Amino acid sequence: MSPHIQQTLIDARAALDALIANDATLRAIDAAGTLLADTFKREGRVFSCGNGGSMCDAMHFAEELSGRYRQDRPALGAASISDPSHISCVGNDYGYEHIFSRYLEGHGRSGDVLLGISTSGTSRNVVAAAEMAKKKGMKVIALTGKPGATLGTLADIEICTPGGKFADRSQELHIKVIHILIESVERQLFPANYR
C-alpha cells in the first residue's frame, strides 16, 4: 500500500482534531448557525460564493438549504452566485473581481447574509462581495483557512479552519462546517426533524 494514503488520513484527522479543540471557532460556528436561522425566520435570503472548489462548496451549501438536507421540510431562500451567464457577462464587462459583488448589488438586501468562502481569505472577488454586502446592510460570514486574512476582517463572523500547508485540508474542514451550519439551521427552524 502507498504510504501517502495513511498519512493523508492522519493529516486530515489532525486538522479535524485541531478544529474540535478550538473553542473560539466552535463558538463562531454556533453564532453563524443562529444568524442564518434568524435570517430565514425574517424571510431574509442567504447568498454564498467562492472560487473553484469553494464555489462547489458554496453551491452545495445553497442547494442543501433550498432543496433538502436530511428530511423533508420547506425550502429556504438560499442561492449560490454561480450562474455561468452572469459570471461570464460581468467578468467580460467589468472584470472577474466583480462577478460576486455585482450580483449582490442587484439581489442583496439589508438583513440578508453572505457566506463568503476562500481558503486563503484573500480572493479579490470574494473580498469585493463582502464589501458590497456590508454596503447593502447585509451580514457577512467568512469561511477561511488562514487567520487574519482580509476576508475575515470584513466579516461579522469569521470561521477559520487552518488545515496545514495546503488548501485541501482546509476545504475538507469547510464542508464539515457547512454541514454543521445546515443542521444548525434545521434544528432551530424544524426541530421535529431531529426528534
Domains contained in the chain, CATH given: 3-194 (3.40.50.10490)
Over the stretch 131-182, which tens digit does the pLDDT of each residue have? 999 999 999 999 999 999 999 999 999 999 987 777 899 999 999 999 999 9
Largest CA distance in the chain: 54
Please, what is the end-to-end C-alpha distance for the chain in angstroms? 43
- Res 59 pLDDT > 90: yes
What pLDDT sits at residue 163?
78
Q: What pLDDT shows up at residue 126?
A: 98
Looking at residue 140, what is its pLDDT? 98
Mean pLDDT to the nearest integer, 68-73: 95
Taking alpha carbons only, the member of 81, 51, 40, 24 closest to residue 182 is 40
Would residue 109 be called left, alpha or beta, if left means φ above 0 and alpha means ψ between -120 and 50 degrees?
A: beta
Chain centroid to CA 163:
16
Of 133, 157, 161, residue with least CA distance to 47: 133
- What is the C-alpha separation between 46 and 65, in angstroms, rounded? 9
Is-contact 114 47, C-beta < 8 A? yes
pLDDT one-digit tens code per residue, 11-30: 999 999 999 999 999 999 99
Q: pTM here?
A: 0.96
Mean pLDDT of 32-61: 98
More confident: 124 or 167: 124
Q: How much is the CA Rg of the chain, to the nearest whole Å? A: 17
pLDDT tier, 54 (very low <50, low <70, confident <90, very high otherwise):
very high
d(CA 56, CA 84): 13
* pLDDT, tens digit, 9 for 90 and up, residues 71-99: 999 999 999 999 999 999 999 999 999 99
pLDDT at 169: 92
Residue 187: C-alpha distances to residues 98, 123, 156, 181, 192 (Å): 35, 32, 22, 10, 8
